[in-house]
Structure 1
């Protein structure tokens, strides 16, 4: 009986810890950002976000000639995808890369670029007006700098967007996001 009595403090401590642990909060829906759009994929075919119904989407805006942030961010998104593939969840997830630079990031160029990330990324482009409209829907800011000829770059916001199976924005991550956090958040929506 004495052994059982000594277990009560341990049991009480465990119950207290369990009671103090916060349950995982459902990711809120961002009602100010997002919406359906149509662009051109890296195969030259029309792509509608609405066609991704039932899949969780990780979406990033950038450009292929970016010297640092864009490829590093896509590499991080790719690692999330590989983690999901190892867990058997990758079929329910679609990474998207939307370019700011349609003059250089043609479907042909995107079709050479996105496979490097080995994450089933769909590269998207369109006219400058189409891309600008999608960027505005998602609160993305970008500004071309340079001489406007062959040598130019973009200054831009660098968030990764998590969209649920209905295409609603559920969370934004900075480009240096925690890979495990994003993996967990994606899985919480599956």
Structure 2
């Protein structure tokens, strides 16, 4: 009968171990991502480590884009707002990385991104830094030949990152908002 008090704490530990949040079914993409340092819209350094501890939706583009980029940013903002309205946006962070540092300075990103009402982080840096990060995520961008009002040809995938900053899923530019919300919830 004396062994019973020792068994109860052990039983409680076994039961509590089963209460952890279940792991998401989304696979970890080990080919994309990696260490980087860029500058956020407040002019502060922002690194790969800053992505950790939250689920992120990461998108590469540029603010002077006439079509795809603002449409994608609006869709990403919808994901954020719907999570926010459901009380589930804590721990979720939209992140926009420009590949046009000439025009998309930290100051410009700070003025531009609030229009989307999504608590979005904007990142810029030197062209070399941006190329490195783009390469790590498999992003392709080619600057047009015009001197002014130039455009870019670019890939337009959206990346869902888990709280360890690992890529868990890629979406096309016309992603389904509900799909991204459900996938993000599985990681939150």
TM class, shorter-chain normalised? Answer: 0.7 to 0.9
Give the greater-gyration-radius structure (CA): 1
Q: Could you list the per-position Cα deviations for residues 53-83 of structure 1 after superposition, in whole angstroms to 9, with x for gaps in the alignment?
A: 2100100000000000000000000000011
Distance in 2, matches of 1:25 and 1:108, equals 37
- The ranges of structure 1 where at least 4 consecutive aligned residues each deviate by more than 3 angstroms after the TM superposition are none
Higher strand proportion, which one? Answer: 1
Do the aligned partners of 1:36 and 1:167 also contact (CA within 8 Å) in 2? no
Distance in 1, matches of 2:93 and 2:169, equals 15
Distance in 1, matches of 2:45 and 2:136, equals 19
Q: Are positions 1:167 and 2:177 aligned together? A: no
Q: Are positions 1:63 and 2:62 aligned together? A: yes
Distance in 1, matches of 2:151 and 2:53, equals 35
SS of corresponding position for 2:31:
strand
Q: CA RMSD in A?
A: 1.2
SS of corresponding position for 1:60:
strand
Q: What are the equivalent positions in structure 2 for 1:1-190 lying under 5 Å apart?
A: 26-147=25-146, 149-190=147-188
How far off is 1:101 after superposition? 0.3
Q: Which runs of 5 or more structure 1 residues have no equivalent in the other structure?
A: 1-23
Do the aligned partners of 1:96 and 1:122 also contact (CA within 8 Å) in 2? yes
Partner of 1:18: none
TM-score (norm 1): 0.85
Q: Could you list the per-position Cα deviations for residues 71-102 of structure 1 after superposition, in whole angstroms to 9, with x for gaps in the alignment?
A: 00000000000111012111111100000100
SS of corresponding position for 2:95:
strand
SS of corresponding position for 1:33:
coil
**How many residue pairs align between the two structures?**
166
Distance in 2, matches of 1:160 and 1:140, equals 10
Q: Could you list the per-position Cα deviations for residues 146-184 of structure 1 after superposition, in whole angstroms to 9, with x for gaps in the alignment?
A: 32x222100000001000000000000001000000000
Distance in 2, matches of 1:49 and 1:184, equals 24
Q: Which runs of 5 or more structure 2 residues have no equivalent in the other structure?
A: 1-22
